[in-house]
Amino acid sequence: MFIDLLRSRRSIRQYKDKPVEKEKIDLLIEAALRAPSSRGFNPWEFVVIDEPEILAALSRTKPHGASFLAKAPLAIVVCGDPEKSDVWVEDVSIATIILHLAATDLGLGSCWIQLRKRNYDERTTAGQHAAHLLGLPNGLEVSAIMAVGYPDRQPSPHPESALQRDKVSFNRYGRKRS
C-alpha cells in the first residue's frame, strides 16, 4: 500500500559502493516523467549523473547539505523552465518527490538536495553553479538534486507519535476533531 511506502520513506545520505542498475535508473526516469504537471506543460528537464567527478563537483554547489553527494553512485538533477509554466516550481517539486518515493519503492535510498534559493558563494546561486557545471542552456533553472543509491544503513521509520497532528484542523482553522 502507498501508506506503507510513506511510512518507510527516509532521507538517506550514506550509500553502499554499488552502482544503481540501468533498469532501476530507467524506472526512476519513467516515474519522474509520469509526474503530474499543471495543464500538462511538463516544464521539467532531468540530468542523470553517474560520473564520480561530476557528482563530486555537484557536491560542492552549496556550503552545507550537499557534501554526501560525492559518495552517491547516482544523482538526478531536476531542472525547470520558467518560460513554460508559471507554476514550474510546483511541477518540478512534484516530480522530485515522485523520484524520492520511486527510489524507496525500488529498494534504493535517496535524499533531496535543495538548490533553488540557495547560494554557492556571494555572487553565484547554487543553481547557477550547477547549471554551469552541467552545461545547461540559458533559462533552465536547477531546482534540486536527488542523490540516489543503495542505503548503507536503513534508519527506522518515523514513529506515528512523531506526526504533528496538532497542525490539522477540520472545517475551520483551529477546529479539532470531536
Q: Which of 28, 2, 23 lies closest to 110 in space, CA to CA?
A: 28
- Bridge partners (DSSP) of residue 44 are 80
What does the alpha-carbon distance between residue 109 and residue 96 come to, in Å, rounded to a whole number? Answer: 14
Domains of the chain (ranges plus CATH)? Answer: 13-152 (3.40.109.10)
Which grid coordinates are listed for 104? Answer: 524507496
What's the pLDDT at 178? 77
What does the alpha-carbon distance between residue 6 and residue 104 come to, in Å, rounded to a whole number? Answer: 9
pTM of the model: 0.94
- Whether 38 and 87 have beta carbons less than 8 Å apart is answered as yes
What does the alpha-carbon distance between residue 14 and residue 154 come to, in Å, rounded to a whole number? Answer: 9
What does the alpha-carbon distance between residue 35 and residue 97 come to, in Å, rounded to a whole number? Answer: 9
What's the pLDDT at 154? 87
What's the pLDDT at 123? 96
Per-residue pLDDT of the chain (178 residues; tens, 9 = 90+): 999 999 999 999 999 999 999 999 999 999 999 999 999 999 999 999 999 999 999 999 999 999 999 999 999 999 999 999 999 999 999 999 999 999 999 999 999 999 999 999 999 999 999 999 999 999 999 999 999 999 999 899 999 999 999 999 999 999 998 7
Q: Which of 85, 98, 86, 83 lies closest to 144 in space, CA to CA?
A: 98
Q: Which of 56, 95, 48 lies closest to 72 in space, CA to CA?
A: 56
- Whether 62 and 126 have beta carbons less than 8 Å apart is answered as yes
DSSP 37-84: -GGG---EEEEEE--HHHHHHHTTSSSSS-GGGGG-SEEEEEEE-TTT
